[in-house]
Each structure stands twice: as structure tokens, then as C-alpha cells.
A and B are shown apart, each in its own frame.
Chain A
Amino acid sequence: MNDFDWAFLAETLLGGLLAGVMYSLVAIGFVLIYKASGVFNFAQGSLVLSAALTFVTLRDHGISFLNATLLSLAIMITLAILIERIVLRPLVGKPQITLFMATLGLSFVIEGLSQFFMGAAVHELDLGIIDVPRAFGPIQLSQFDLIAAGIAGTLVIVLSFFFSKTRTGISLRAVAEDPQAALSIGIRLQRLWRIAWAVAGVVSLVAGLLWGSRQGVQFSLTFVVLKALPVLIIGGFTSIEGAIVGGLIVGASDSLAEIYLAPLLGGSVSTWFVYVLAVVFLLFRPSGLFGEKAIERV
């Protein structure tokens, strides 16, 4: 093992961690909604797609970067409020699997409509970040990845502060703990749901822009949700810290497995490796690393 390339290993690992920050970002959108309403939101991926599509379409119509961002934000928040009003409110108190199926249906609606109105072609998205490799000693990292991870990381920190320090964030936690009790002390459930979905919409916009500028805005953006799921399993559905740590673990192990394991098995392993890893984690921690353990009473 003398000629083992340690710099390459470090490069792969760091590249994976940077990608992992973006997974964390999507996963946090999940966690927020799960904590606020107990909904396993499968439509997160389609929100990412529709946010990016909206932004690109606005840009194509010659609207300035700032205005396009603000307009897309407004559209995502409106969408969030509509979802709460039309889909979630009639389903209050229904079993979790029903809510999950509803978000699955919702993802079909969002994907279908946004592609119908804004086209299914691959759109180029230029954020003005130049992608050049930067050398740190023997390690080379993509400047775009660094900046993207920086933006995502900042948002992650802001969100975890929002969650633990602000009044709204604390009421969200109260709702997650016990919706009945939260209602009885005067927390407005529907307002909180709107906020949670709006934040998820904002997160989707950021994720959609970062991802979209890397691989083009297209349908495959919705697959981000499939990468974010193992993040949630590893970290736990109810924990922001879990989403962060889980994202880093998934990002790093994904890129390591792709480089070192895939050649041994003779093909790309990225569709399943992190899922199998997540199952291994689950066997030892059935509610994720940071998830709350459910206490069962008869």
C-alpha cells in the first residue's frame, strides 16, 4: 500500500463532504415539515425542481437576478400557503401514510404543472460563480463546490438558530412534541404549518439554484429527494443536527464508495450504497442518530 494516494483520498472525502452540505440543506426542509406536521414530505424534490424552473424562466424573460430571486421566493411562499390550505388542512388527523401519499400526489401535480408551463427542456443556469479548481497544498477542490457549500452551510446555521432561538421555532418544537397540548396553550397550528412549508420552499429555492447551476435545471433535480432520504434515516427525522451530520456522512461515504467500492463491484453504486449504509445505521439506532425514541404504551 506504499503508493496509496492519500491526497486523492482526502480530495474525495472533502469533495463528498461539500456535496453533503447540500444534502443536509434539502434534508432540513424535510425535518422542518416533519416536525411541524408529521408529514413525510415526498414533494420536497419537486419543490426543488419547480423553484429552479421558476427562477430560470424568469431569468430567460430578462428579469434581473435580484428581482428573479425575490419573485421566485414570493412564488414559493404562495405555493406553500396553497399547499397548506388545499392539501394539508383537509387531511388533519389522518394516518401518516395517508399524508405521505398526499405529498406523493402533490409531487406529481407540481412536477406536471411546472414542466407544462415552463417546459421540460434542460435549462442552463448561470449564477455567476466561476468553477475553477483551487489548490490547498496537494488537494484540489472545486471553487464552485466551496462556495455552494458555504451558502448551504450558512443557511443551515441560520435555520438551526431559527429553530432553537426564535419564538416561532420554539412553537414549532412544541407542535412536534404534542399538537394537542400546543393548540391548548394558544399556538396557531395552521400558521406554523404555513411557515414550515414556506421555509421548505425557500430551502428548495436555494438547493434548486445551487444544484441546477451545476447539472442544469431538469427533471433529474427531483432525485435530490432520494439522496436526502438516507440523510434523514441516518440523522433521524426529527433532528436538525441529525440532518447536518447525516448529510455529511452521506456525502462523504457516497463519494468514497463511488471511487473505491464501485470498481471492485464493476459498476456505479451510487443509487443504493447510502441506502444500505442507512439500514446498517438503523439496525443499531432504530430512530436515527439524533431521532427521538418513541416510547410505546398500551
Chain B
Amino acid sequence: MSSPSSILRRPFTQRVLWALFLAFLFLAVPKYSSDYWLNAILIPLLIMSLAGIGLNLLMGYAGQASLGVGAFMAVGAYATYNFLLRFPTLPLPLSLLLGSLVAGVIGLLVGIPSLRIKGFYLLATTLAAQFFIEWIFSQYGWFSNYSTSSSISAPRLEIFSHDLSAPTGRYLLTLSVVTITTFLILRLVRSQTGRSWMAIRDMDTAASVIGISVYAGKLRAFFVSSAVCGLAGALWAFAYLGTVDALSFNLDRSFQVMFIVIIGGLGTIFGNFLGAAFIVLLPFLLQYLAGKWFGGTISAGDLTNLQRAFFGGLIIWFLIKEPKGLSAIVGNVSRFLSRLTASLSLSHKTHP
């Protein structure tokens, strides 16, 4: 597999390029980017990529489709909120970690039926989790500290008394969490755990025949996937919205993350960033196009409906034209370019 998930094994020059890119993201972007870009595009893009990675572990690597992502994100957000609220001495990174562990444990519980239940039946099981968890958070006030409105504002956002509530701070927090998690996950999918997931995905009966514990593998996948989604949910609430709101983790969110995974490419890590970029940027593009073509002659409701239809059509087109997702397109293009440069340098040598 020549997917970008093999970054860690790449030659020195490529590592240097990646390091430079990260340095650009950490140093240059917060300095030169406007608050609007950070708030409206980069922060949601990074967080949704993280959620995509979470689901992709489960769906693309372990082969267990899930529509419960929204619920696991909600668990992460509410758990982190409650850790911050009830243990004020706990530093933010630790609360995030604990919140994501809680989400992982809930995911583990939801994953328990996965040994007996498969395919679309399992998909429906995760829907049960989605609806049930959403209901619990909006029904019982304890989770939101008996706030009168359905959404509660997030508490302080600081690390070692560095205030992170400005857009730059929230961006850097998100970027750090996403970078660290991505690197850990890249290691994980190349480890024995990751390989056993792929064996289970390709055929679980065969995997069990060669001595892989299918049950443990599936449960591990549910745990890690939900923990990552929970982390994304906590960031979504704290670093993006600034409020914890059960409504922002509804079924639509689960669908959105699933779209990211499919558009980016199942069984890839890098693809999730492409998919998230697509999902986050598309509304801006549609808005721009609509303004250009219709220029205010169309009502907002009609515009939403047209956008919805266009988005759906685009999804179908994508599935038909490139079912392996954006990461496959990027892979093809980069292979084409490297072949091109190779043949150019070759012709250069033969005809001096």
C-alpha cells in the first residue's frame, strides 16, 4: 500500500517535508491567518478530520459500519465538560484524555453485540446508541449542570494558566491534539492490532481460523474509534462551538462523518483530512457559486434545498466515479507526477 499512512517509513527527505509542513501549520498559519479563517474553516476542518479518523478506524480498518459517531462525540464532550466542572484542579489536557476514555468505554459497550450482529444489523444497533445517548443528554439535567438552556457555555480553556480562548489559542490546541492523535493512530494501524483489524475486516471467519481473536479485535476497534471520536467531540464543543449542545451531535453529524470517511477513502488516515476539507469547504463553494449564478434572486430556503440536492448528487457522482475516495485520486496524481519526473530525467540522461 503506497498510501500516505506510511509516512513514518518514508525516506529522510519526505520526513523533512512533513516536518516543514507541520512547522508551517504551527508557526506560520496562526501568525498570518485571519480569525475568520481559523474559526470558520481550519478549526472545524481539523476536528472533523479527527472524527473521520475515529470512524475510519472502525469502518475502514475493522470493517464495522457505525452511525453512532455523533453519540460518541457527545459523550466525549459531556464527559470532558463534567471533568472540568467537577474537578476544577484537573488540567485541560487530562480532562480531554479522561473524556475521550469515557467515550471509548461507552463505545466498547455499544460494540459488545458486534460479535453476533453484522452488517446493516450492526449499523442499526449503533443507531440505537445514537438516539439513546442523544436523549439521555437532553433529558437529564445533571450532565449539563442543570443549565436552563439546552446548550451550556464551555468553562475555562487554559493550559498551565495560558489562556486559550482566543482563536489562535483554540487553533493551536486543536492542531496539537489532532497532530499527536494522528501520529499515534498511524503507529497503531501498522501494529499487530491494526493488522488484525484488517484481517477481521476482510473476513472475520478466516481471521478467527488463523488464530486472531475476533471479539477482542472488534472491541478494541470500538474502544479506540469511540475514544478518538470522543476527543473530536470535546474539541468540537470547546474549541469550535464554545458550547456543549446535544443537538450538535445528532444523526446528521454521524452522517457527515460517514461522508468524510467515504469521500476521503476507507482504510486511510490521510484521506480523512481530504474528506473533511471537502465537507467543510463545499458549503462555502456552493454559497459562492449561488451568489454568482443567481445573485440574490433566490430565497434562502430555496438555496438550502438546492445545496442539499447538489451535495447529494455530488456524493453519488463520487461513489460512482471514485469509490476509493479522494486519497486514491491524490495517490494516482502523485504517482503520475513521479513517473513523469522519472521519465523526464531518464530522457534527459539518454539524450544529453
Contact = CB atoms under 8 A, between A and B. Distances in A.
A282 B119 CA distance: 12
B305 A286 contact: no
- Scoring B117, B306, B311 by chain A CB atoms within 10 A of each residue's CB, the highest score goes to B117
Contact of A107 (B124, B128, B259, B312): B312
Contacts of A279: 113, 124-125, 128
Given A96-B120, A286-B116, A102 B319 contact: yes
A267 interface: yes
Contacts of A275: 124, 127-128, 131-132
B307 interface: yes
Interface stretch (B202-210, B233-241, B334-342): B202-210
B124 A112 contact: no
Contact of A108 (B120, B121, B123, B315): B315
A266 B136 CA distance: 11
A91 B320 CA distance: 6
Q: Is the interface of A mostly helix, strand, loop or mixed?
A: helix
B315 to A, nearest CB: 3
B309 interface: yes
Contacts of B125: 233, 279, 282
A115 interface: yes
Contacts of B314: 105
A216 interface: no
- Scoring A90, A116, A226, A265 by chain B CB atoms within 10 A of each residue's CB, the highest score goes to A116
B313 interface: yes
Interface residues of A, number: 50
Contacts of A40: 120, 123
A269 B135 contact: yes
Given A91-B320, A272-B135, A113 B305 contact: yes
A74 interface: no
B316 to A, nearest CB: 4
Contact of B132 (A266, A272, A286, A288): A272
B87 to A, nearest CB: 28
B143 interface: no
Contacts of A230: 124
A120 B305 contact: yes
Contacts of A282: 113, 116-117, 121, 124-125
A241 to B, nearest CB: 18
A109 B309 contact: yes
- Scoring A40, A102, A107, A276 by chain B CB atoms within 10 A of each residue's CB, the highest score goes to A102
B306 A112 contact: yes
Interface in A4-37: none
A87 B313 CA distance: 10
Interface string B284-311: 0000000000000000011001111111
A163 interface: no
A112 B307 contact: yes
A120 B315 contact: no
A112 B120 CA distance: 26
Given A112-B308, A112-B310, A229 B135 contact: no
Given A91-B320, A287-B121, A101 B315 contact: yes
A49 to B, nearest CB: 12
B305 A112 contact: yes
Interface string B104-122: 0000000001001111110
Contacts of B301: 115, 120
A298 interface: yes
A30 to B, nearest CB: 11
Nearest to A83: B316
B282 to A, nearest CB: 12
A108 B116 contact: no
A90 B259 CA distance: 19
Interface in A21-74: 40
A174 B308 CA distance: 37
A279 B117 CA distance: 9
A116 B290 CA distance: 14
Contacts of B258: 101, 104
Given A109-B312, A286-B118, A116 B319 contact: no
A97 B315 CA distance: 13
Interface in A104-163: 104-113, 115-116, 120
Nearest to B119: A96
B121 A229 contact: no
A94 B309 contact: no
Contact of A104 (B65, B131, B205, B315): B315
B319 A108 contact: no
B121 A288 contact: yes
Contacts of B311: 105, 108, 112
A283 B115 CA distance: 10
B262 interface: yes
19 contacts: A40-B123, A91-B319, A104-B255, A109-B313, A111-B305, A115-B301, A265-B139, A267-B135, A269-B135, A271-B135, A272-B134, A275-B124, A279-B124, A282-B124, A283-B117, A296-B205, A298-B203, A298-B205, A298-B206
Given A272-B128, A275-B131, 6 more contacts: A98-B262, A101-B259, A105-B316, A229-B124, A275-B128, A296-B205
Give the 9 A-B CB pairs with smallest separation, nearest first: A108-B312, A112-B309, A105-B315, A112-B308, A275-B128, A272-B131, A109-B312, A116-B305, A105-B312
